[in-house]
Structure 1
Amino acid sequence: MATASNDDLLQLENFLCFSVYSASHAFNRIYKPLLDELGLTYPQYLVMVSLWQEDNQSVRSIGEKMFLESSTLTPLLKRLEAAGLVTRKRDPKDERSVRISLTDTGAALRAKAENIPACILEATGLDIETAKRLHDDLRVMRNHLDASVAKP
């Protein structure tokens, strides 16, 4: 295997993290008009997708799935509640825990969002198998990065 020179290592176009970062921005530009039709931001959309998958979740559970702290998630959930899409209620079994549930309006919004994944896949220019492989590779990389940060 050829080794890269130090000069090559400091070329922006060679940074894997920059490729991921710039791809994220490109995704956001594709998602924005689709989500504007739903009245959602991208993080709000992710919360809604999580709730469409499994309703009545704790804030902690949603945060773990989205890799967000509750201090970041709570204002987002309050905005979804103000929009009439979710309710936030203390868990009667554990008053320290807040549970998030879809309203009828929030549940109905799912039907309007069903075309979004296909639109995004089409915009990537990838076939479904390539997209799945890339998705799996990125998850593995993220998990390794998280594990590296967690080490003392």
Structure 2
Amino acid sequence: MNAKKNSPAEALMLDNQLCFALYSANLALNKLYRRLLAPLNLTYPQYLVMLVLWEKDDVTVSDIGERLFLDSATLTPLLKRLESAGLITRQRSRQDERQVAVTLSDAGRQLQQQAADIPHAVGCAAKCDSGTLLALKQQLEFLRQQLQRA
């Protein structure tokens, strides 16, 4: 690592922590998404599931978990709430009884149109051009990959 070595006191200052910068930015982002998703009656984790399904419908629970880096114990309650809201259906796969297939309902498909402006609204709130946001996203993905390998 090429970073300058800080004194022990400097190394432990809150404002010098990468984790705190990520954490506090995540809090601000979640607050924004809470406001944007309220009219859709979705939480942020539910929105992420819906994004996966809008991209590719009729996928397994394990496929969704892999895309979102979530285990089935976390994902199952989210899917139950989405199913109760009438946005998805879950059923055992005909090919493999151990797998549960998740598909969008008509209401889930229609919700995609209501959500279409959310990415733009987030970009506007960030007050960054699309190139800056893309570069930041790529840096965060790289960081995630490196941390997963550690």
- TM-score between both structures, scaled by the size of structure 1: 0.95
- Match for residue 54 of structure 2? 52
Identity of aligned residues (%): 47
1:85-123 deviations in whole A, cap 9, x for unaligned? 000010010000001000000000000000000000111
Aligned partners of 1:108, 1:44: CA distance in 2, in Å?
Answer: 15
- 1:3 is paired with a residue whose SS is coil
Aligned partners of 1:128, 1:52: CA distance in 2, in Å?
Answer: 22
Aligned partners of 2:80, 2:71: CA distance in 1, in Å?
Answer: 15
The reply to whether residue 95 of structure 1 matches residue 97 of structure 2 is yes
- Match for residue 81 of structure 2? 79
- Match for residue 115 of structure 1? 117
How many correspondences in the alignment?
148
- Match for residue 138 of structure 1? 140
How much does 1:4 deviate?
A: 1.6
How much does 1:33 deviate?
A: 1.4
- Match for residue 35 of structure 1? 37
- 2:134 is paired with a residue whose SS is helix
Aligned partners of 1:27, 1:33: CA distance in 2, in Å?
Answer: 10
Report the RMSD for the aligned CA atoms in angstroms: 0.9
Aligned partners of 2:35, 2:24: CA distance in 1, in Å?
Answer: 18
- TM-score between both structures, scaled by the size of structure 2: 0.96
How much does 1:27 deviate?
A: 0.3
- 1:92 is paired with a residue whose SS is coil
How much does 1:124 deviate?
A: 1.0
Gaps of 5+ in 1: none
- Match for residue 24 of structure 2? 22
